[in-house]
Amino acid sequence: NWSIISFINLLSSLILRFAYPKRGTIFRWKGLYFWFVFTFSALVVIAQLIFLALIGITNNGKTIQDHWWMTLFGLMKFQSWRSPTVIYFLVLEILVGAVAFSEINKFNFMGCENPCRDSLPSVLERIGYRLRLGSCLLLPAVQLASGISNPSWLSLPFFICSCIGLVDCSLTSNFLGLFRWWKLLWIYSSFDICLLCIYQLPIQFPQSLEVVAESVGLYKLSMVSGFEEIFSGISLLAFYFMLSCVRYDLEDMQSMMSMPEDSLTEHLLPEKSSFFVRQLRSGVRHTNILLRGTIFKFFSINWFTYGFPISLLALSYWSFHFASICASGLLAYVGYILYASPSLVHLHRLNGLLLIFILLWAVSTYIFNVAFAYVNWKAGKDMEIWEMIGLWHYSIPGFFLLAQVCLGILVALGNLVNNSVLLCLSNEEIQIANETLFTDVVVGSKRRYQSFDCGYDCLGTAKMLSSYYAVADLPDSYKTWIDACCLHGILLCLSSKPQH
């Protein structure tokens, strides 16, 4: 029921997810917000019931229903028991009002304590942790689905950010790179949702405005809409709400990664729970899930055994199946790998360049398919030129774009494994260097203190003998030997330089 009522409900939900505070803090506008939701739900239910009563009394529901302002506001007429849409609508509004009322009273109804009040928060916290972890893992895929399910100018930022995040994660082995510019995308997705909902309202827009709206990517949802449009709207809503659930966790992980090791602020602030941030033995923080014991060994061995040959085979198949100028670059990469067998460091750099090339190709294909409908190109010679370059037009380009991105994901996985191996080797070298330095420091300290003890013994012996021959009549050779012992002890003490 696209109407003002549904738009206000959707807008209230977006505002709640946008303004809801971090766990453990106070929601300042909680009372005002939930009072508004409760009052609005109650007014909607009362207005709908009065509207149904008027239809039943006057028996002239057709005339009332034909008023455009009634449809725009969202009041519905009861059709039949086979599709009681108005009943579902009333049940949902009553549930919304009940939840808002329970939030106002903090799980207290009419002054009575809820026996589940103490156990409910802990249960919800455990469920919420698993939901947030799942949202972190699925959010990059949902973002990609929002971009390619219905390619348009409005969806292009999601696709571009997905490609940039994939490159960042591949080159730096940083899982947070997949969420590059997530704050801007979060605000932008809410703007897209509001635009899409406003465009669904039963209003007769001017013809020029409809042309502009359809050109940027807005569409009308109905029972005859295609699956790509429906899937695009669902993925857009899922992206906003999933990102709103994990935004504070992303902020915590970013602050932990940006904080220097062994800083005073880190020790003063309370420990933050994070999903993916771990610390190596050398003290370096990372979010690479491959650097975790058995996962690293299993994934790296299987990748070099099966994954790398499969990626070369996929690149070769793509080069021959979609023969073009751009595809020749993939074939040249495969030939160079088989001929030169480069080192791991050189292969890491080469894979990074290949990944950037594939994703730039995918973005160009995206823009080409979006702009194709608004450019008067002929289907003959013009298309042959573009296909020779490597740009194809499809009626549903989402599948072709998904195949290109999957090709980039294969290259990104190889780069991620290479980077993980290099990071693990560098960490082991740092660890060995630290252990060697520690051993040298300990041995050197022992030698210095042994020299100091020896010099102290020589100096003590010399002092004792000097005090003896001061009163005794000794030969000159003995006195010369005692002076040499004193000098030797002083030199040993000065060369060792003890702290005390």
* Cross-strand bridge partners of residue 112: 109
For position 449, what pLDDT does the model report?
Answer: 45
Angle at 39 between CA 193 and CA 25, to 5 degrees: 70
Is residue 81 located within the same domain as residue 184? no
Give a yes or no: residue 104 inside a domain.
yes
Is 16 a domain residue?
yes
Co-location of 4 and 103 in the same domain = yes
Strands 278-279 and 285-286: antiparallel
Is 105 in the same domain as 2?
yes
Based on the fold, state whether residues 319 and 397 are members of the same structural domain: yes
Do 253 and 176 form a contact (C-beta atoms < 8 A)?
A: yes
SS3 label, residue 278: strand
Residue 497 lies in a domain: no
Contact criterion met (CB below 8 Å) for 203 and 215 = no
DSSP string of 30-54, one letter each residue: HHHHHHHHHHHHHHHHHHHHHHHHH
Please choose, from the candidates 279, 416, 269, the residue with its C-alpha nearest in 3D space to the C-alpha of residue 355: 416
The answer as to whether 498 is a domain residue is no
d(C-alpha 151, C-alpha 147), whole Å: 6
**Domain count along the chain:** 3
Q: 376 and 296, same structural domain? A: yes
Numbers of helices and strands, H then E, in the chain: 18, 2
Q: And the tokens for 103?
A: 């939030």
Tokens matching residue 435 = 């252990």
Q: Are residues 296 and 429 in the same domain?
A: yes
Contact 137, 245 (CB under 8 A): no
pTM across the whole model: 0.74
User: Which DSSP string corresponds to 309-330?
Assistant: HHHHHHHHHHHHHT-SHHHHHH
- Are 338 and 212 in the same domain? no
CA distance 69 to 62: 14
Amino acid at 109: F
Cα 317 to chain centroid, rounded: 32
Taking only the tens of pLDDT, the chain with its 500 residues reads: 788 999 999 999 998 888 877 766 666 777 788 899 999 999 999 998 988 888 777 765 455 555 677 888 888 877 766 768 888 889 999 999 999 888 888 644 444 444 544 455 566 666 777 787 788 888 999 999 999 998 899 999 999 999 999 998 888 877 888 888 889 999 999 999 999 999 988 888 888 888 888 888 888 888 777 888 889 999 999 999 999 888 888 887 777 666 655 554 544 444 455 655 555 554 555 555 555 555 556 666 666 677 778 888 888 988 888 888 888 888 898 898 888 888 777 887 888 899 999 999 999 999 998 887 776 555 555 677 888 888 888 878 888 899 899 999 988 888 877 777 766 666 554 455 455 544 544 445 455 444 444 444 554 544 544 554 454 454 555 455 555 555 555 555 555 544 44
Cβ pair 151, 370 in contact under 8 A:
yes
Structure tokens at 43: 């007014």
Q: In whole angstroms, give the CA distance from residue 60 to residue 49.
A: 16
Question: Hunting for tokens 């947030």 — which residue is that?
Answer: 132
211 lies in the same domain as 333: no
- Domain final residue, candidates 74, 109, 144: 109
How far is residue 408's CA from residue 34's CA, in Å, rounded to a whole number? 46
Classify burial at 455, counting beta carbons within 10 Å of its beta carbon; exposed 0-12, middle 13-18, buried 19 or more.
buried
Task: Write out the residue range of the structural domain in which residue 168 sits.
Answer: 126-256
Same domain flag for 301 and 433: yes
Backbone angles phi, psi at 373, to 5 degrees: -70, -15
Residues 171 and 250 in one domain: yes
Q: Which of 425, 440, 455 is the last residue of a domain?
A: 440
CA distances from 105 to 14, 20, 43, 117, 325 (A): 22, 18, 20, 12, 67
Residue 363, helix vs strand vs coil: helix
328 belongs to a structural domain: yes
> Is 282 a domain residue?
no
CB 404 within 8 A of CB 365: yes
Alpha carbon distance 185, 154 (integer Å): 11
Tokens in use for 399?
């599948």
Q: Is residue 146 part of a domain?
A: yes
- Is residue 352 located within the same domain as residue 391? yes
Are the C-beta atoms of 420 and 173 separated by less than 8 Å? yes
pLDDT at 397: 84
| Tokens (6 digits) for 53 | 């009563």
Last residue of a domain, one of 203, 232, 256: 256
How far apart (Å, rounded) are the C-alpha atoms in residues 431 and 174? Answer: 21
- At 264 the pLDDT is 47
The pLDDT assigned to 441 comes to 46
256 vs 276: CA distance, rounded Å: 11
- Nearest-5° Cα angle at 90, 84 to 91: 90
Return the number of other C-beta atoms located less than 10 Å from residue 463's C-beta.
Answer: 14
CA 40 to CA 259: how far, in whole Å? 45
102: left (phi over 0), alpha (psi -120 to 50) or beta: alpha
Q: Are residues 143 and 231 in the same domain?
A: yes
Q: Which amino acid is at 269?
A: L
Does 8 map to a domain? yes
Q: Which amino acid is at 499?
A: Q
